[in-house]
């Protein structure tokens, strides 16, 4: 019993990370139908910039805030310098541009931060909390709380606010959005800022658990992408459920079968789901006229 609980708890922790990365994917996807593969680099930048500011003497909360703001600015720059000049290109080209941007950011990070592995102290100490014979780190609770908070914020943003609905309208039909007076270039800038900021926040929350280096982004991007696809790309609820499902699956496979198979098991389940539900668990149906 306590063994199962332990596997579940570690799965939920990992799942919360995937959910956070997947939530970052949803915003840019909602605004532009582009899957931004540089999302993982935003996670890396969040951790790295925090490390840099913290070692330079800034208090941890201030360092974390600086990392989120700086990464959001890098996201905006990426939109202005790489995505906007290619406006009108097919979505596939834009996705490839994001892959190029991620390679560039990774290379630049290697030059600026070096190749070492970094970390900073956990927010609330390292003493494990005992629950029914299983243990969980306080930092895991931070990650879980962070992903749930970001989810609630995004859910409210997209369903309740005018600005959130303007983002959805822009993705649905950019020209029609302009016709009703939506400033679509601003919507794109905002989306990149928010996605990058959320990515950086994930990096800040997980670095005390997983540590960070210049090349951790790719793994986050792949798992977050898988989680988002599983839940249904573009839907915050899907990102959250997809992330936690993927994490728990990995946790159980690692615990009961072998940790070497954890990635394989997770991807098999994703393939199975997408085979029967190509839109993911909560995806919107495509209703284009032909």
Partner 1 sequence: MNLLSIEGLGISFGGIKAVNNVSFGVKPGEIVSVIGPNGAGKTTLFNMISGVYLPGAGKVILNGEDVTAMSPHLLARRGMCRTFQNLQVFQSMTVLENTIAGYHLQESGSVLADILNLPSSRRRAKAAEAGARDLLRRVGLERAAEREAGSLSYGSLKRLEIARAMALNPKVLLLDEPAAGCNAVETEEIDHLIAEIAASGVAILLVEHDMKLVMRISNHIVVLDHGEKIAEGDPASVSQNPAVIAAYLGAENAAG
Q: Which residues form the interface with partner 1 (CB under 8 A)? A: 156-157, 160-163, 165-166, 169, 172-173, 175-184, 284-289
Q: Which two tokens stand for residue 199?
A: 């990515």
Ramachandran category for residue 280: left, alpha or beta (phi over 0 → left; psi -120 to 50 → alpha): left
By C-beta, is 111 or 180 nearer to partner 1?
Answer: 180
Q: Least separation, in Å, of the C-beta of 238 and partner 1?
A: 16
Nearest to 98 by CA among 71, 75, 116, 67: 75
Residue 11 near residue 250, CB atoms below 8 Å: yes
Q: What is the DSSP string of 6-26?
A: HHHHHHHHHHHHHHHHHHHHH
Q: Looking at residue 84, what DSSP letter applies?
A: G
Q: Least separation, in Å, of the C-beta of 157 and partner 1?
A: 7
Please name the residues in contact with 3: beta carbons below 8 A apart, sequence gap of 6 or more. 255
CA distance 24 to 240: 11
Nearest to 207 by CA among 131, 146, 149: 146
Phi first, then psi: what are they for 262, rounded to 5°?
-65, -40
β-bridge mates for residue 130, sequence order: 135
By C-beta, is 132 or 162 nearer to partner 1?
Answer: 162
Q: Least separation, in Å, of the C-beta of 201 and partner 1?
A: 18
By C-beta, is 89 or 163 nearer to partner 1?
Answer: 163
Q: Least separation, in Å, of the C-beta of 110 and partner 1?
A: 37
By C-beta, is 92 or 288 nearer to partner 1?
Answer: 288
By C-beta, is 186 or 256 nearer to partner 1?
Answer: 186
From residue 122, give the alpha-carbon distance in Å to each of 25, 205, 245: 26, 9, 25
Q: Least separation, in Å, of the C-beta of 269 and partner 1?
A: 28
By C-beta, is 129 or 156 nearer to partner 1?
Answer: 156
By C-beta, is 20 or 154 nearer to partner 1?
Answer: 154
Q: Least separation, in Å, of the C-beta of 284 and partner 1?
A: 6
How many Cβ atoms are within 10 Å of 70's Cβ, its own excluded?
Answer: 19
Q: Least separation, in Å, of the C-beta of 4 and partner 1?
A: 38
């Amino acid at each position: 019993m306590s063994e199962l609980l332990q596997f579940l708890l570690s799965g939920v922790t990992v799942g919360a990370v995937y959910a956070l990365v997947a939530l970052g994917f949803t915003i840019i996807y909602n605004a532009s139908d582009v899957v931004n593969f540089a999302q993982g680099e935003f996670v890396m930048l969040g951790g790295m910039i925090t490390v840099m500011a913290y070692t330079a003497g800034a208090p941890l909360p201030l360092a974390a805030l600086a990392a989120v703001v700086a990464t959001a600015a890098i996201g905006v720059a990426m939109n202005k310098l790489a995505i906007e000049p290619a406006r009108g290109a097919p979505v596939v080209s834009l996705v490839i541009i994001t892959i190029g941007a991620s390679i560039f950011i990774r290379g630049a990070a290697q030059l600026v931060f070096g190749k070492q592995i970094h970390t900073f102290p956990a927010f609330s100490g390292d003493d494990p909390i005992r629950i029914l014979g299983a243990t969980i780190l306080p930092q895991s609770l931070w990650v879980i709380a962070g992903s749930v908070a970001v989810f609630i914020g995004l859910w409210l943003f997209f369903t309740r606010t005018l600005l959130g609905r303007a983002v959805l309208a822009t993705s649905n039909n950019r020209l029609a959005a302009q016709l009703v007076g939506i400033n679509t270039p601003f919507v794109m800038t905002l989306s990149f800022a928010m996605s990058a900021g959320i990515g950086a926040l994930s990096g800040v929350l997980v670095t005390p658990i997983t540590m960070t280096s210049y090349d951790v982004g790719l793994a986050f991007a792949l798992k977050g992408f898988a989680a988002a696809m599983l839940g249904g790309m573009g839907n915050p609820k899907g990102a959250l459920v997809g992330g936690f499902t993927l994490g728990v699956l990995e946790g159980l496979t690692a615990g009961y079968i072998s940790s070497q198979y954890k990635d394989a098991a997770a991807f098999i389940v994703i393939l199975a789901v997408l085979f029967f539900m190509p839109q993911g668990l909560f995806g919107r149906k495509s209703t284009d006229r032909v």
